[in-house]
Structure formats: C-alpha cells, structure tokens
C-alpha cells in the first residue's frame, strides 16, 4: 500500500514538474507566436483590402508575462471613407492567456490535449465602442476563445452579443452571431462555420421606410491551399428566410435559400461550381415558386487568372469605386504597359480553352417548370484587335443554348399578375392566364424563334465553326445575327 502511495505521489510530482516546465516554456515562446500570428493576420487584412480605399491592421500594444498566465493588449485600426465619416477607428482588446500544456479552462471542460496556450479575448470600452457596450448592458459585445497548439495550429470561437438600437435613421435588431474556426499552423488548411439567428433593419428615406429581415443564416467553409495559392474546397450558406420591402412597394420574400460552391485544381487549371437554390419566392404575400441556378467553370489557367485578378483589384476596382463615389460613368484607364499585360494574360487564359456553363436556370411554379441552359467553349484568337466577326469566330469555338418555357408556368404567373392588379373573378383570371400562355406560344411561332411542343415552348441554338443551328435551321453566323436584329426591330416597332 505504501509503495502504491509513493508511486502515485511520484506521478503527481512528475506531472507537476512537466506542467510547470511547459508553462515556463510557453511563456518564453508566446511573444514570438503572437507576433507571427499578428503578422499573418495583417497580411490577410492587407490582401482583403486590395482594390478598396479602406485599410485595417492589428497591433500588439503590450504583453505582460507571468509564469502560468499572460495578459496581452491589442489595437485594431480601421480606416474607410465610407465608415465613421472617413475618420480612423480604433478598437481595443484585452487577451487573458493561459499557458500550456494544460490550461485550467481546458482542463475544467475535459479538453486534455496539450496546447501552447488558451486565449480568452474581449473587446474593451473606448470612445468608439462605448455605445456598443451601452446596447449590451455593459457586457463586452465581442468575445473570443482560442487555443494554439505547439505546431501553431489554432482553434477558436468568436461571439457577438445581441443588441438593438433606434435613432433618426431607422432601427436595427441583431440576435447575435457565433463563428467557429480552425486552421493549421502553416495556414494550409482552414475551416469555419457561423450561425446568425436574425437581423431586422428598418431604414428611413424620403419615399418612406425600407425594411429588410434575415432569419437563420448559417455557413460552413472548408479549404486547403492548393499549388495556385487559392483555397480549394467547398462553401455552403443557408438562409431560412429573407424579406425586402422598398418604400411604398409590396414585400418580396425568399425562403430556404441555399448557396453552395466548390473550387478545385485539375491539371494546372481551376474548375469551379456554384449553385443557388431558393425554395420559394413570394411577392406581396402570394407564392410564385422555386428557383435554381447552377454555374460551372472549367479550364481556367491558374497563373493568368491570378494575374488578371491582381490587375482588377489594384487598377480597375479603385477607378470604378472612385467613379461611383462621384456619380460618374466608369471608363477603364490603363497605361500602355498595363494594357499589354492584360492582353498577354488574356491570351494565356484563352489558350487553356476555358469552359463556361450555365447548366440550369429554372423557375418552378405550382403547375409547371421553365428552364434555360447555356454552354460556351472559348479559344485563343490569333489577335484581339481583328474585325469583330473574325474575332468572334476564333474566340467562341462552341455555344449551346436551350430555352424551355412551360405554358402552365406562364398561366400561374399571369394569374398572379391579374390578382395583384385587383382582378378577383376566378373565371376572368383563368381566361386571362390562358390567353397569356397562348399569346407567348403564338408569338414565338410567328417570329420563328421557338416551337410549341405539347405544353412547352422550346427554342434551341448550337454554334460552331461560324455556323448557327437555330431550331434545326442552319445558317452562317452573320446571317443569324442579321435575322435576329430584324426580328427585334419588327417586334419593338410593333410596340
């Protein structure tokens, strides 16, 4: 028995020595780890603000080191001409850091995996944030809890408390937001998910109040940095409902909105897929139907995509923002060197034969569904300054498009429009809806832009090698363009 007690005491003593040594070691490494994290964070902030007039940075003001804990103070500097009347904003944070390998806050919650440090951060009150504190009854409105492993891998949680306010500009209600995130020490892997309960905004205007609500927003993103420097992986976002009502206008509501995106590297090129789903769209309280849009992008050369994005962010975007601020029409102005660089990178991009596809754009009502699809394959022209017809022939190597309009869907939309106009007689509404569907079908046949196949109005187009196949009739591309222009003139003249 005595021997067992001695062994137990020995284990406790050894564990205590190891924990104490680990805490001392952590204290020595902590400042370097914090400076590295701040440097990486500032690099990401700088990249996020490229092309924008604003800027932001984080600064470590002080670090008071003790044996088992340390206290750090940070300052977040933000400056944006569209925020706080263009005046600089400073936000202060205090961080109570527990040294590893076994911080007490993690031990209490049975998280026994050794870490370098556990961080408990919160915003501090200053001249800018004191109004925010007042809206949360003096509680820190922004807090964060993080842990950093000895391999610099990080795991954290950020929380924004609920608050609301009302002033002469309107009213704002916010239910709070929670963000969970993790990342590897080398920054190669990132994962984040967030939850927001609701946002309710009412803004005043000369025409009347503008109202916006958002309920049950969630997102999840997982990415691994590829050879291109882009984070590859998927992002999902969901909104249970969103409502917008302009001044004096009926409300538009979206329910069960889902956005998914996927980015991949395939043989040195970028491939992407983006999907938008809306479970139901309603107007002025009346259901319209469900909507879906699916885009696919393939064979985008990585190096040229990066170069063109950089030119856009550094050259084009600031010009566009300045023009918008002045209320002027934007016209790009690039130096001869930049123009030459753009042409060279566009040529590289097109050499990879990019593929752009709107796989599906659909609207489904109670009685029918209409769909549109478009697919394009691009090529690299011998020169970008050649005549338009020859440039198009070399640039657009293949195009396929198809439109299927459901006559029952047209009836549903026409009936909804009749009701919103004040028509109440069911027979009159049905007659008007039937007439609208037949009118669209008849016009498509008359203008020779579509065919009626059962309950659908169908139109298809295929283009390759300067030849267009439009609804089964082949013709040169120039003839097709002239024909469509003539139909447009005839149709617009008849209005």
Residue where a domain terminates, one of 161, 180, 195? 161
Q: Is residue 132 part of a domain?
A: yes
Q: What is the pLDDT of residue 22?
A: 36
Q: Is residue 295 part of a domain?
A: no
- 128: nearest Cα among 158, 91, 162, 154: 91
Q: What does DSSP say about strands 456-464 and 451-453: parallel, antiparallel, or unpaired? A: antiparallel
Q: Is residue 320 part of a domain?
A: no
Please, what is the Cα angle at 12 between 8 and 17, to 5 degrees? 145
- Classify burial at 108, counting beta carbons within 10 Å of its beta carbon; exposed 0-12, middle 13-18, buried 19 or more: exposed
Q: What is the pLDDT of residue 106?
A: 62
Residue where a domain terminates, one of 128, 161, 194? 161
Whole-Å CA distances, 32 to 39, 43, 98, 149: 11, 17, 16, 14
Question: Crossing angle of helices 426-446/407-420, nearest 10°?
Answer: 130
Query: Encoding tokens for residue 219?
Result: 């997102």
Residue where a domain terminates, one of 161, 191, 217? 161
Q: Is residue 268 part of a domain?
A: no
Q: Is residue 487 part of a domain?
A: yes
Where b means 16+ CB within 10 Å and e means fewer, 384-404 reads eeeeeeeebbbbbbebbbebb
The answer to whether 263 and 233 have CB atoms below 8 angstroms apart is: yes
- Tally the domains of the chain: 2
Question: Crossing angle of helices 336-351/302-311, nearest 10°?
Answer: 150
Where b means 16+ CB within 10 Å and e means fewer, 336-364 reads eeeeebbeebbebbbebebbbbeeebbbb
Q: Is residue 128 part of a domain?
A: yes
Domain that holds residue 110: 1-161
Q: What is the pLDDT of residue 103?
A: 62
Instruction: Map tokens 């500032």 to a residue.
Output: 42
Q: Is residue 486 part of a domain?
A: yes
Instruction: Map tokens 């999907």 to a residue.
Output: 275
**What does the pLDDT profile of the chain (495 residues) look like in tens digits?**
433 333 333 333 333 333 333 333 344 466 677 777 778 777 777 776 766 677 888 888 888 877 677 888 888 888 877 777 778 888 899 988 887 666 656 655 656 566 777 888 899 999 888 988 999 999 999 998 888 777 777 888 999 999 998 888 889 999 999 999 888 877 788 889 999 999 999 988 888 889 999 999 999 999 888 887 788 899 999 999 999 999 888 899 999 999 999 999 988 899 999 999 999 999 988 899 999 999 999 999 999 988 998 888 888 888 887 777 777 787 888 888 988 898 899 999 999 999 999 999 999 999 999 999 999 999 998 877 777 778 888 889 999 999 999 999 999 999 988 888 888 888 888 888 899 888 888 888 888 888 999 999 999 999 998 899 999 999 988 888 888 888 777 666 544
End-to-end CA distance of the chain: 103
Query: Encoding tokens for residue 75?
Result: 């300052």
Q: What is the pLDDT of residue 387?
A: 79
How far apart are the C-alpha atoms of 374 and 357, rounded to whole Å?
A: 6
Q: Is residue 207 part of a domain?
A: no
């Amino acid at each position: 028995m005595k021997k067992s007690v001695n062994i137990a005491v020995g284990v406790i003593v050894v564990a205590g020595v190891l924990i104490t040594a680990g805490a001392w070691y952590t204290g020595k490494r902590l400042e370097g780890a914090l400076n590295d994290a701040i440097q990486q964070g500032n690099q990401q902030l700088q990249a996020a603000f490229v092309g924008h007039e604003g800027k932001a940075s984080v600064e470590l003001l002080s670090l008071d080191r003790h044996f088992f804990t340390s206290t750090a103070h940070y300052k977040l500097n933000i400056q944006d001409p569209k925020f706080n009347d263009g005046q600089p904003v400073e936000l202060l944070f205090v961080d109570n850091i527990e040294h590893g390998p076994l911080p007490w806050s993690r031990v209490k919650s049975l998280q026994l995996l050794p870490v370098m440090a556990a961080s408990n951060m919160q915003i501090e009150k200053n001249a800018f944030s004191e109004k925010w504190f007042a809206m949360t009854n003096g509680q820190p409105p922004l807090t964060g809890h993080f842990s950093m492993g000895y391999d610099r891998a990080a795991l954290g949680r950020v929380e924004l408390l609920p608050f609301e306010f009302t002033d002469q500009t309107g009213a704002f209600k916010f239910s709070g937001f929670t963000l969970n995130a993790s990342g590897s020490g080398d920054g190669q892997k990132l994962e984040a998910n967030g939850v927001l309960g609701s946002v309710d905004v009412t803004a005043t205007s000369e025409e009347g109040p503008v109202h916006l609500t958002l309920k049950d927003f969630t997102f999840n993103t997982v990415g691994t940095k590829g050879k291109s420097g882009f984070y590859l992986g998927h992002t999902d976002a969901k909104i249970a409902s969103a409502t917008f009502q302009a001044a004096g206008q009926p409300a538009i509501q979206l329910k069960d909105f889902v956005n998914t995106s996927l980015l991949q590297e395939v043989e040195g090129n970028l491939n992407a897929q983006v999907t938008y789903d809306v479970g139901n769209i309603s107007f002025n309280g009346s259901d319209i139907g469900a909507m879906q849009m699916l885009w696919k992008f393939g064979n985008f050369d990585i190096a040229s995509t990066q170069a063109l994005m950089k030119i856009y962010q550094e050259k084009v975007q600031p010009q566009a923002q300045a023009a918008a601020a002045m209320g002027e029409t934007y016209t790009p102005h690039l130096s001869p060197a930049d123009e030459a660089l753009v042409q060279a990178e566009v040529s590289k991009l097109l050499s990879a034969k990019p593929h752009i596809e709107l796989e599906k754009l659909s609207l489904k009502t109670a009685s029918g569904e209409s769909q549109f699809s478009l697919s394009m394959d691009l090529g690299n022209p011998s020169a970008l300054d050649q005549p338009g017809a020859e440039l198009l022939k070399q640039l657009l190597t293949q195009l396929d498009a198809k439109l299927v309009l459901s006559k029952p869907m047209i009836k549903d939309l026409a009936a909804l429009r009749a009701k919103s106009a004040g028509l109440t007689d069911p027979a009159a509404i049905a007659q008007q809806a039937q007439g609208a569907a037949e009118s669209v079908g008849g016009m498509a046949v008359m203008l020779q832009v579509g065919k009626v196949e059962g309950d659908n109005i169908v139109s298809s187009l295929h283009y390759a090698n300067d030849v267009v196949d439009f609804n089964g009739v082949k013709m040169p591309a120039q003839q097709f363009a002239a024909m469509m222009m003539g139909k447009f003139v005839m149709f617009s003249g008849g209005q």
